[in-house]
Structure 1
């Protein structure tokens, strides 16, 4: 495989892998076999992951995305097809999907999504530059300001999680999450500032020691979030930090992932997953169904594959899902409605909490499909989440899944270029990558949800103001600012 010059050429093994997956998919559709279509989808995911691994210098974000795709959308039916379906699991291959035909259709949709990712990688141009970017005069001030805000917001973030855990312990997971979501505005801004300051610190290219300490603190805070019985924050924090450190290994020639470190992490994985499974059991959504050393791995993979039902429900409830809601862009539509209402003084649609009105009149597929599947549970706070595959399917059909996934294939492959760019490019890429990892289980525009939220839009000026104060307090930066003002005065 050619790596490093223009679009990467496919190898014979890749071609054979794609061909074999197509044959399996065709046989599965012809015989209406959920097992064959599951293996076809898993094989194609392996092919996409394989080419991303071989081309990892520019495609490691795509590799991370494929891992999340398999985890959230394929793992449950693949594990059950291979190791057997637990007796307490419902539906075909334990997916809670009633008919085999529906699971065949769902696997076909997932196959289209993976095909689009592969096409997006294939058409992307040259790899990211390997040279280390130069440091600008503003970087030291950004590092100091970001580190200060990051340390300052850690206690507030921990307090927010602890408060949410107390509420959940008192009211139960689903009702407690609804109550905890209505946190005071200053805590929501502090939470946004915690993430934004961390991304800004990393984008300012800290030393190896600074990167190790900040990334370790970020992952530990993510681990602390497990007391709220939510696992996604910890998983995403580990995924983002792993991608960043691997980027540093490629760009700065630092050794973060040696052979023995990787072996050690893999050996510890079953124990870490056992903790994650314990958190899931506290929510009442996980029952141990396997035994042996790999039991935590199998149980974890089964518990994470819930989003496949969301995609299948797009077929099952196609006749009752409201039309013209444009779920693929739902969070942005609702944010724009609120912003327009605020600017014009008009009445914005009241789309808060989990109510029938919120589910039917809103633009977020996670609310709509959760209400249609289980109306009573939904208003109590239960939800099934979303998936970009399901949203594209409802809005644009099969062609939408393919094209929308190809867009992500292109953007994820190009992300290595912007990670190696200047401060703003790296900062924006880190913010978007955190949301991108959750796209298989979230909205198509998930990467934009947090950066464009009101707390984030408040936190960004706070970061900029802190950087300005730090620069003004530094003798060298004061001189640089005076010279900049003189140049601007001389050339208005």
Structure 2
């Protein structure tokens, strides 16, 4: 019954948003248009909750979309302040319309997909398969290697924290080089992928507690060298995994328990405030007052600057240099041409980051736009990031935003459907989910190149080979 009520509210909200869009567009009222973005996001969240089982990624994407692209101007507007400055009304109208088109098209893509496919069958993850002797072997192998590589990974992170605390977080992007043995650094690089493989073998809740706690510890320590996003993305990924495990569970054991839900609900505001205070301290900004709701609002304002990339992309459209491939495909091009195998075969050097060469010829919209807007700070190692919406608009205009949104809307439930078929697909999907929910402030295909990096593929094949070797020797030898 509650889902029927949600659906009625959601449909009403959809038509209200259409009305707001028409009024805002016809009367050129940017405040109404901006509020309309919030209405669409709220509608999409309700749409996700109707069938959370296969719309889980869509749900999280709407959250990060709000945080990275909408929260800042919306809270500034609600405070009665000028949210358009330093841009013109024409530029901000383009930015808000781009956000609106993306939200509508993502919903439409998910809606179409739900009409042409069935809800994913979590019974495909048959209990007998994940309790097979081979899967038990793979689970044990990945767990042992996770513990070993975690020591190396934590050592690398602690070195980065010490470096940043003794210098400056900007120096990390400019001059940090690890002094640890190279083999230790490389072993540490395998850690997180091994952890995802371990989760993909569907260990019991009891077996998972320590590995998950170590993963949380790793994420928390990473804050020490400025990686706030890692903590939140990793937290979202764990919640996603817990929810999926609840759908899979046949033993009645809940993963995403009420205790965890209440803990998140109570602690989240304080975590967000801590992130703001930490950022102030990191950048040597004096904290003049400690007002709870002001600091909570400041989190969204400090994190919501990625909409500026859409604005600057529109303003600097004529100055942005053309590349060999579309910017929205830039991460794929870089992946194919700049990985270690391609560079060895083609005998080419990698393009150094935060250089004029990278900004003008590196096929990276984020590097290019940062260099054009803030050339000095860019060369010092600081970046603005990117936004998939800005890339799609520059490459294909508004139709690109719509088509790109339709693709994403169909992709989200497809990943859920595919991930439950094989353990290695499950592991890769976890990596993809983590990348996808970040693309409001990242490249359009960054999620794909993150998941199918040579390191990840090598790690998965290595684990498969070791587990297969032990299994064959122990049970078939």
CA offsets per residue over residues 156-206 of structure 1, 9 Å max, x none? 111111221222234421222232377875455334311111111111110
TM norm structure 1: 0.87
SS in 2 for 1:294: helix
Matches within 5 A, 1:437-452: 437-452=437-452
Quick check: 1:235 aligned with 2:236? no
Of residues 167-176 and 235-244 in structure 1, the stretch that sits farther from structure 2 once superposed is 167-176
CA offsets per residue over residues 75-120 of structure 1, 9 Å max, x none? 11111112344xxxxxx51x76422322221111011111111011
SS in 1 for 2:351: coil
Give the whole-Å Cα distance in 2 for the aligned partners of 1:285 and 1:121: 44
Asked if structure 1 preserves the Cα contact closer than 8 Å seen for 2:56 and 2:240, the reply is: yes
Matches within 5 A, 1:11-26: 11-26=7-22
Quick check: 1:418 aligned with 2:400? no
Asked if structure 1 preserves the Cα contact closer than 8 Å seen for 2:153 and 2:189, the reply is: no
Paired residue for 1:354? 354
Paired residue for 2:121? 129
Asked if structure 2 preserves the Cα contact closer than 8 Å seen for 1:277 and 1:286, the reply is: no
Matches within 5 A, 1:192-341: 192-252=189-249, 253-284=252-283, 292-324=291-323, 325-338=325-338, 341=342
Give the whole-Å Cα distance in 1 for the aligned partners of 2:223 and 2:205: 28
Asked if structure 2 preserves the Cα contact closer than 8 Å seen for 1:351 and 1:358, the reply is: yes
Paired residue for 2:427? 427
- 1:341/1:449 Cα in 2 relative to 1: closer, same or farther (>3 Å)? closer
Paired residue for 1:79? 75
Asked if structure 1 preserves the Cα contact closer than 8 Å seen for 2:40 and 2:100, the reply is: yes
Asked if structure 1 preserves the Cα contact closer than 8 Å seen for 2:428 and 2:452, the reply is: no
Quick check: 1:28 aligned with 2:20? no
Matches within 5 A, 1:386-401: 386-401=386-401
Shift of 1:378: 0.4
Quick check: 1:56 aligned with 2:49? no
Paired residue for 1:146? 142
Shift of 1:429: 1.2
5+ residue gaps, structure 1: 86-91, 483-492
Q: What is the aligned-residue RMSD (CA, Å)?
A: 2.7
- 1:291/1:338 Cα in 2 relative to 1: closer, same or farther (>3 Å)? closer
- 1:119/1:370 Cα in 2 relative to 1: closer, same or farther (>3 Å)? same
CA offsets per residue over residues 290-321 of structure 1, 9 Å max, x none? 85433342121111101111111110110101
Give the whole-Å Cα distance in 2 for the aligned partners of 1:155 and 1:38: 47
Shift of 1:458: 4.0
Asked if structure 2 preserves the Cα contact closer than 8 Å seen for 1:39 and 1:78, the reply is: yes
Give the whole-Å Cα distance in 1 for the aligned partners of 2:88 and 2:360: 26
- 1:182/1:347 Cα in 2 relative to 1: closer, same or farther (>3 Å)? farther
Shift of 1:343: 5.1
Give the whole-Å Cα distance in 2 for the aligned partners of 1:346 and 1:261: 52
TM norm structure 2: 0.90
SS in 1 for 2:203: coil
SS in 2 for 1:254: coil
Asked if structure 1 preserves the Cα contact closer than 8 Å seen for 2:20 and 2:32, the reply is: yes
Paired residue for 1:363? 363
Matches within 5 A, 1:376-391: 376-391=376-391
Asked if structure 2 preserves the Cα contact closer than 8 Å seen for 1:189 and 1:458, the reply is: no
Asked if structure 1 preserves the Cα contact closer than 8 Å seen for 2:239 and 2:256, the reply is: no
Q: For this pair of structures, how many residues does the alignment match? A: 465
Give the whole-Å Cα distance in 2 for the aligned partners of 1:261 and 1:167: 34
5+ residue gaps, structure 2: none
Paired residue for 1:102? 91
Choose from 13, 18, 34 the match for 1:38.
34
Paired residue for 1:118? 107
Give the whole-Å Cα distance in 2 for the aligned partners of 1:96 and 1:149: 52
Give the whole-Å Cα distance in 2 for the aligned partners of 1:229 and 1:158: 15
SS in 1 for 2:347: coil
Shift of 1:149: 1.4
- 1:353/1:466 Cα in 2 relative to 1: closer, same or farther (>3 Å)? same
Give the whole-Å Cα distance in 1 for the aligned partners of 2:262 and 2:379: 45
Give the whole-Å Cα distance in 2 for the aligned partners of 1:279 and 1:470: 47
- 1:283/1:26 Cα in 2 relative to 1: closer, same or farther (>3 Å)? farther
Asked if structure 1 preserves the Cα contact closer than 8 Å seen for 2:154 and 2:188, the reply is: no
Give the whole-Å Cα distance in 2 for the aligned partners of 1:308 and 1:286: 23
Paired residue for 1:163? 159
